[in-house]
Structure 1
């Protein structure tokens, strides 16, 4: 057989890719699996979004190659969205870059700034893709601890003790996945000072701002942020458009141009109709988001009940699509979720897939109908 590249030896298949094979096998055997593990919204996008993509098919240039930088109207609408919801001013022509999903952006940012042997500060707990991409590019992940004692936020004093000489990028993700903790402007200010001191590119991955959160916050709203910061965002969670693959990157022109050099060699632009749908989504009235959150609020209260039935504890003062719950002290995460899956046909995510700090925790998704969550409660 052809031998694979060495870089593939440094990463494993994505956890959910592997685990869902097992879950689907159980389903094929007739097991009535309730999936509370995946953060894939099950609700519909706004109706005007569906209408926009449908009508776009008739446009003269709907099926041609599109600009690597997206439609001017899309960039302008993203800038307007950030002004309305985050009170952030960005130049639509130079400080906004649409992406084919924000996961794409993680790779493109890393390719734009990392050389072999560079280091990357990655939170432990975090989205596993930060680590996988870092390893694929033969850079070194340096994990910084997030823990309950510090409300799952970075400890600057501990960060200063690290060897930071080769660090080029630091990943943030607030509101935080998987814990749902929100950052504050004070925390962002301290991190920006830290990044400037050590010449580190600070990237906040911000797809959960509008889910069960009345005070959305962008790192770009903090004075001095554009000098050292980029922010990723996405329509996947906010507007139930995960499969559409629409993301965005915002920051200063010099940083975005570096990312564009990579992106323009990796894709041929976002499909026109998806861009037209994204424009409509970003102009959705606030009451639509409020109604969406009423659904998630009802689901979350049921998941809290389920967690309590399983003798787990949780923080009610969080946001996002998940409930992060602590197990009784004598249980481990993966053993617990396997027992729940095999005995009750309920799938949830073990905390360990987000880092070693996740041992002893599990994550419940709110992306399931209330009837399914009630059934899960009944089963346990």
Structure 2
């Protein structure tokens, strides 16, 4: 039997890929599991997006191979979306690349810019895929710790004191997942100055900026940011279109060109109907955000009650699709969530999967209906 590549020695199966098998097993055995672990929107996609997708199926080119860069109308819609919501001007033809979900962009960017042995900075706690993909391309993953005391922001002054000469990329993610931290005024400007001084390409992964957040921000709004920065974004959370797999990466023409060289060798374009649906979604205005955020606000208020019932603490100012909560002192996060799953049939994410700095925390998804959250509260009372 053929042996796997050496790169897999340090790459584990994604946590949710394994844990959800256990959850499905409990459900199959008849247990009423409430899944508060993953951020997969349970509400429908915008009706306008569904209608546009269905209508697009009848276009003469719908079932042909599509452009690696998406149809022009999709790139234009993405450019307009960034201009209207973030005040960022990006050239649709050269500075925007549609993706099949922003997660694939993490791999494309890493393959485009990293050589074996290059170093990459990523947050602890942070999205596990940053480190996993770094190791898959045989680069070296270096963590920078985020703490509640420092507002879950990187200490750029301390980082600058280290030897960063071999660091090629730096991953940031604001609004931050899993902590729900918003960017304070001036931080993005400091980050771009840091990237220029250290000659590092910084990438902001930005899929949560419209969820329970009244001040969406883009790293690319900083003057000169495109020289040293890229930004990933997605329709998954913003428009309840996680399964559609529509994302984007924005940056300079040169950087986007490098990423396209990778992407064009890995897929044959996004399905036309999905592109048409994405255009319709991106054209929706404030009413859409008010609608989904009204629902998420009610759910979050209930999750806060659940957190309090569990004896945990939380920051009421956090934004995004999750609630990040600190466990009482001395409680092991993974043992706690296993106990909750097996005794109360409630699945919660342990903070440990996001890094060592998440060891004292647990994370709740807001992609759960109100009645289920109320049921969870009753189960743990």
Q: Please name the residue that 1:365 is paired with.
A: 365
Contact 1:185 1:222 in 2 (8 A): no
- Say which is worse superposed, 191-200 or 296-305, in terms of deviation: 191-200
Q: Tell me the residue number matched to 2:59.
A: 59
2:35 matches 1:35 = yes
The separation in 2 between residues aligned to 1:28 and 1:113, in whole angstroms, is: 44
Alignment partner, residue 291 of structure 1: 291
Alignment of 1:76-155 (within 5 A): 76-155=76-155
Per-residue CA shift, 1:146-186, capped at 9, x if unaligned?
Answer: 00000100101221132211100000000000000011341
> Paired residue for 1:353?
353
Task: State the alpha-carbon separation in 1 of the partners of residues 158 and 229 from structure 2.
Answer: 21
1:309 corresponds in structure 2 to 309
Describe the SS at the equivalent of 2:149. Answer: helix
Kept in 2: contact 1:231–1:250 (CA 8 A): yes
Whole-Å separation in 1 of the counterparts to 2:320 and 2:114: 30
Residues 302, 373 of structure 1: 8 Å contact kept: yes
What does 1:156-235 align with in structure 2 at a 5 Å threshold?
Answer: 156-235=156-235
3-state DSSP of counterpart to 1:73: helix
Distance 1:123 1:354 in 2: 9
Quote the Cα distance in structure 2 between the aligned partners of 1:24 and 1:115. Answer: 39
Q: Quick one: distance in 2 between partners of 1:306 and 1:263?
A: 43
Could you give the per-residue CA deviations for residues 8-36 of structure 1, whole angstroms, max 9, x where no partner exists? 11110000000001111111111110000
Query: Partner residue of 2:374?
Result: 374
Distance in 2, matches of 1:117 and 1:83, equals: 38
Distance in 1 (alpha carbons) for counterparts of 2:12 and 2:98: 29
- Native 8 Å contact 1:351 1:360 kept in 2: yes
Distance 1:297 1:262 in 2: 40
Counterpart CA distance in 2 for 1:181 and 1:242 is 22
1:209-244 deviation line (CA, Å, top 9, x unaligned): 000001100001111111100000000000000000
2:260 aligned residue: 260
Secondary structure at the counterpart of residue 150 of structure 1? coil
TM-score, normalised to structure 1, is 0.99
Q: TM-score, normalised by structure 2?
A: 0.99
Residues 43-72 of structure 1 show CA distances to partners (whole Å, capped at 9, x for unaligned) of: 001101110111111100000000001010
Q: Distance between the aligned counterparts of 1:98 and 1:289, measured in 2?
A: 22
User: Match of 2:248, SS?
Assistant: strand
For the 8 Å contact 1:36–1:368, the answer to whether it is kept is: yes
Where does residue 278 of structure 2 map in the other structure? 278
Q: How many residues align?
A: 380
Deviations 1:169-207 (A, max 9, x none): 000000000000011341111111111111100100000
